[in-house]
Amino acid sequence: AQSVTQLDSQVPVFEEAPVELRCNYSSSVSVYLFWYVQYPNQGLQLLLKYLSGSTLVESINGFEAEFNKSQTSFHLRKPSVHISDTAEYFCAAQISGGYNKLIFGAGTRLAVHP
Amino acid sequence: GAVVSQHPSWVICKSGTSVKIECRSLDFQATTMFWYRQFPKQSLMLMATSNEGSKATYEQGVEKDKFLINHASLTLSTLTVTSAHPEDSSFYICSATLGQAGTEAFFGQGTRLTVV
């Protein structure tokens, strides 16, 4: 069965520090990988995605994620976080075929402190 | 990006009554919509896949008769929680896609259901 594992439920970090949110997936077939962000009292928004090609993908607000097939990982990183990055981050995998449904990880709460 | 509107954003109902939640894709046609349930501080659990004009596909463990899903048009899917009980209290979220693999899923704002 396909699954997505986010190893850290909470990540506290100081402003301007680097951060890495970890994500591993398990699947025997090709997957598409996504990171979604959920700000307080808002719906989920796409942060970035990996479909194919370059294994390093970037978002418009400074986040990046690297697809590592051998380690089945898709970790999210940012070199310098802001207070406004405080949110819940969800890693998700989409298994191609069928209805292309998303399988979500448990989420990581990123708390940026001044 | 595309907009998915979910209504109501919150609802309180008495135990034993039914509640309907609407999910609309405002500026695109969504062949497929998904319904999720999110418990506090937990991830989204996929409940069912809703396809326009056909029966919904439910995930294992989700009661079909309890959570009725209707996808009457390419822009509207509804979730009805029938005979609601306090344990049904949760955050329900819908999403819609353009259908093709690898395309972004657009999410509604969610509905907070409280059954008293």
Q: Does any CB of chain B come closer than 8 Å to the CB of residue A111?
A: no
Q: Which residues of B touch A101 (CB under 8 A)?
A: 34, 46, 49
Q: Which residues of A fall within a CB distance of 8 Å from B42? A: 106-107
Could you state, in chain order, the average pLDDT of each consecutive group of 10 residues for chain A (114 residues)? 88 97 84 90 88 88 93 96 96 79 91 96
pLDDT value of residue A29: 66
> CA distances (Å), B105 to each of A45, A46, A86, A105, in order?
9, 8, 22, 15
Contact B43 A104 (CB under 8 A): yes
CB–CB contact A42 B109 (8 Å): yes
Q: Can you point out the beta strands (E) in chain A?
A: 3-5, 10-14, 19-21, 24-26, 31-38, 44-50, 56-58, 64-68, 73-78, 87-95, 102-104, 108-113
Chain A, chain B: beta-carbon pairs less than 8 Å apart: 63
Residue type (1 letter), B13: C
Q: Please answer whether residues A85 and A110 qualify as being in contact, where contact means their C-beta atoms are separated by less than 8 angstroms.
A: yes
- Res. B51 pLDDT band, cuts 50 70 90: confident
Q: Does the beta-carbon distance from A100 to B32 stay under 8 Å?
A: yes
pLDDT tens, residue by residue, A74-106: 999 999 999 999 999 999 998 766 677 888 999
Other C-beta atoms closer than 10 Å to the C-beta of A85 total: 20
**Residue A10 in contact with partner chain B when CB distance is under 8 A:** no
* Of A44, A24, A27, A46, the residue nearest A35 (C-alpha): A46
pLDDT 10s digits, B67-86: 999 988 889 999 999 999 99
A53 in contact with chain B, both atoms CB, cutoff 8 A: no
